[in-house]
Amino acid sequence: MEKKEHIISILVHNKPDVLARIAGALGGKGYNIESLSVNTTTSYEISKIVMTSVGNQATITRIENQLRRIVDVIAVDDLTNVESIHRELILVKLILTADSKAKIEKAIDTYKWKVIVSADTYIILEITGDKPQIDFALARLEPMGIADITRTGIVALALEN
């Protein structure tokens, strides 16, 4: 069976340790979490966790079943098997030098990157997109000298429930 990245959406009761339970249940059974995003939903009582893990369908099914054993887990959905949208967000700090300034400004203009802080010596960009879009942006940014970067885990939403 084909190994690929699966995006798993987990609805949980927002109880103490719930993230530790999920990380522990998967880590303890030898499954890896590649990316993770956690926050409360419209209710503070319920949180949504979006994680990605790489494996064939049988492995991913085992991961889902392990997650469902956790008492605080309400629902588990593999968004890879349904139509869904995915986004990541990066914050990137670039140092402005005499050499780079013009190049960076041109790129911002070309790619419509969002500048959220603009100082004399550096700028900070906020870029969102799906994984290929973020990877594309990073490939362009790297030669310009990234001083610091933060990349979120994937968030995802199914088009139809």
Q: Which uninterrupted H or E stretch holds 135?
A: helix 131-141
Q: Is 24 in the site for other proteins (CB under 8 A)?
A: yes
**Pick 3 or 13: Cβ nearer other proteins:** 13
- Spell out where 14-160 has E strands: 35-40, 46-55, 73-78, 84-95, 114-118, 122-129, 146-151, 155-158
Structure tokens that stand for 2 in this block:
């084909």
CA distance 141 to 123: 12
Q: Which of 23/38 has CB closer to other proteins? A: 23
Q: Which is nearer to other proteins, 32 or 65 (CB)?
A: 65
The conformational region for residue 84 under phi > 0 = left, psi -120 to 50 = alpha, else beta, is beta
User: How many amino acids of this chain bind other proteins (CB under 8 A)?
Assistant: 17
Using CB under 8 A as the binding rule, whether residue 132 contacts other proteins is answered as no
Q: From the CB of 69, what's the least distance to other proteins, in Å?
A: 5
Contact set with other proteins (CB under 8 A): 13, 16-17, 20-21, 24-25, 28, 58, 61-62, 65-66, 68-69, 71-72
